[in-house]
Amino acid sequence: MGLKSIIMGKNRKHSRALYEKVRSKPLPAHVAIIMDGNGRWANLRNLPRTAGHHRGVETLRGIIRTSSELGIRYLTLYAFSTENWKRPKSEVRYLMSLIVEFLQKEIEELNENGVKIHMLGQLEELPADAGKEIRKAMETTRRNKGLQVNIAINYGSRMEITLAARSIAEDVSHGRLSAKDIDEEKFSHYLETDGIPDPDLLIRTGGEYRLSNFLLFQSAYTELIFTRKDLYWPDFTRDQYLKALIEYQKRVRKFGGIKRN
């Protein structure tokens, strides 16, 4: 047996051991990911930024597959923010084409595996082909009961909260809702994540330490994991994901209370 085969065999055993370790303890019901660093990954390799985005899609396939295998119920992915429209038009067009390509190529396998596609964000502002493909994916998978993948596209949490407040104000002004009945739970029903539990774990790759307008209301008590500076999304492997889940399992979640024996 050659050295390469030995190393690959050891890597597979290590990966399997990580997988079994994760399975041995309670898993988060909802994982959110800020998929950051595609452009920097490409720049380090003297490649166009589009190459980083393309490689990032390969990473995405593996993370969805692993989440489904583990039985995680919700996976929310920050794919394109309301601020990302500021990027060069050529890059925005490529990102939108990648979304279309990903859904066209993967929807059959996702559907067969019981994955449900859901979208967060302002769908009507997307290019027609992207909007059409997303609606088709949502319709195709709407009855599925497995992992729900929430793709946040043209999404910004401040806008989400603003629109929720506007809807509440309209309901109060029309007598459909009493102001005294508004509490955190009632407010959450007006958010795009209505019916989806708050994230238990939020992972951000690329070494940045901020939420970047992502799930601000929902992440009040979410466990946060930021990867090291040089670990960009294209290099976020299955093993890196499993290690993040293990780190989450070590956390003691008190929700403002105290740990009880």
Domains of the chain: 28-156+199-250 (3.40.1180.10)
For the sheet with 74-81, list strands across it.
116-120, 148-155, 74-81, 30-34, 201-204, 223-226
Average pLDDT value for residue range 204-223: 97
Q: How confident is the model at residue 4 (pLDDT cuts 50, 70, 90)?
A: very low
For residue 239, count CB atoms less than 10 angstroms from its CB and return exposed for 0-12, middle for 13-18, buried for 19 or more.
middle
For residue 253, the model assigns a pLDDT of: 83
Q: Which of 36, 38, 150, 154 is catalytic?
A: 36
Q: What does the mean pLDDT of the chain come to?
A: 93
Average pLDDT score over residue span 97-115? 95
Are the CB atoms for 249 and 22 separated by under 8 Å? yes
Lowest mean pLDDT of 6-10, 117-121, 243-247, name the range: 6-10
Summarize pLDDT for 17-55 with one digit per residue, the tens: 999 999 999 999 999 999 999 999 999 999 999 999 999
Percentage of the chain beyond pLDDT 70 is 94
84 given a catalytic annotation: yes
C-alpha dist (Å) from residue 192 to 79, 100, 135, 204: 16, 22, 16, 21
Catalytic: which of 38, 43, 46, 84? 84
CA distance 115 to 150: 10
pLDDT greater than 80 at residue 179? yes
Question: How is the chain split among helix, strand and coil, in percent rounded to 5?
Answer: 50, 15, 35
pLDDT in tens, 160-172: 999 999 999 999 9
pLDDT greater than 80 at residue 110 = yes
pLDDT for res 15? 85
Question: Mean pLDDT throughout 65-84?
Answer: 97
The structure tokens 């050295």 sit at 3
Q: Decide which of 15 and 201 is more confident.
A: 201
Distance, C-alpha 33 to centroid of its chain: 4
> What's the CA gap between 43 and 49, in Å, rounded?
7
- With a cut of 60, say whether residue 83 has pLDDT above it: yes
Asked about 36 being catalytic, the answer comes back as yes
Residue 233 DSSP code? G
- pLDDT value at position 3? 32
Comparing CA positions, the residue from 67, 77, 68, 74 lying closest to residue 102 is 77
Residue 5 has pLDDT above 70, yes or no: no
- Confidence band of 16 (pLDDT split at 50, 70, 90): confident
> How many Å is the maximal CA-CA distance in the chain?
76
- According to the model, what pLDDT value does residue 261 have? 55
> Does the pLDDT value for residue 7 go beyond 60?
no
Could you give the 3-state DSSP secondary structure of residue 81?
strand
